[in-house]
Amino acid sequence: MFRTFRGLNAENLLYYQAELTMLEKKLTEQQHVDFLSNDPHKKRYALDWQRLSVPEAADTMQLDLILRIRQVLKEYNDALIQQAQIFTYPEPQWQDLNYMQNFLHSEMSLALCGADAVTWGQVSARKGHSPNLITLCPRPKEDGLTNYITSAAGSTTRVLFRLGLYRFLRPSRMDAHNMAGYRKSRVAKITYWMTSTFAYLVPVWTIFVLFFTPSVLSQLSLVAAFNVLLSTFLSGMTDAKPLEIFAITAA
């Protein structure tokens, strides 16, 4: 997770833009002056690159301006493209920020002590992190249920570790600190089976309940209630879009 420095990047682009505007004005004026001169060689500077590239011995102003513009324009375009690319990176999720803050607060961390020490915030000020943070390697996008359970699992595992249950876990070979822990992928797999089971049981349960409901008015009320339940489940426990939720509840 890193800062984008949007303010500085925007200011840098404005400086490039101001410099190019000035150079553009100078070039236009110089082309006008050369075109109105009595020298037939100068008159064709803006019309013939061969003549411009081999100017008179003491008359390289127009060529110098073009070469300077070419250099600044390349730097400006590169900065503009880089800034557009930076905007495509997503912001870090709060779970990642909290993890970073907890890690920097831990005893095993050699935390920064300079002006950038609070870039990711602090345990005492969770929302005190720098604005415009991005992540280069974001976690996979998951549904709301998985995010909630993995966050709750993080709190639960911390309690289990305080109780000493970490002794029953083997250290991870992929961890540089040789730490023991529960992998997030295992928790996500459990939530996947929970979601799939619930999605299977809801339609069966609704048909079962409606079968034993004799009154038509009661059946319609139950259908409305089950639709609300289904839409709530889809919006809260999955990453379904509003149009998909509408189509599923209508079906």
- What pLDDT is stored for residue 58 in this prediction? 67
The pLDDT value recorded for residue 125 is 83
Tens of pLDDT, residue by residue over 16-39, are 999 999 999 999 999 998 888 888
* CA nearest to 139, candidates 98, 96, 97: 96
pLDDT value of position 190: 72
DSSP states along 120-161: T-BTTBTT-SPSSEE-SSPPPP--HHHHHHHHHHHHHHHHHH
pLDDT at residue 206, rounded to an integer = 82
What phi, psi does 4 have (nearest 5°)?
-90, -15
Side-chain-side CA neighbours of residue 176 (13 Å): 2
If we measure between CA atoms, which residue out of 205, 245, 197, 196 comes closest to residue 223? Answer: 205
- Three-class SS state of 197: helix
Q: Which residues, given as ranges, of the chain have pLDDT below 50? A: none
pTM, to two decimals: 0.64
Predicted pLDDT at 43: 82
Question: What is the pLDDT at residue 80?
Answer: 96
Q: Where are the beta strands (DSSP E) in the chain?
A: 2-3, 133-134
What pLDDT was estimated at residue 173? 57
pLDDT recorded at residue 59: 78
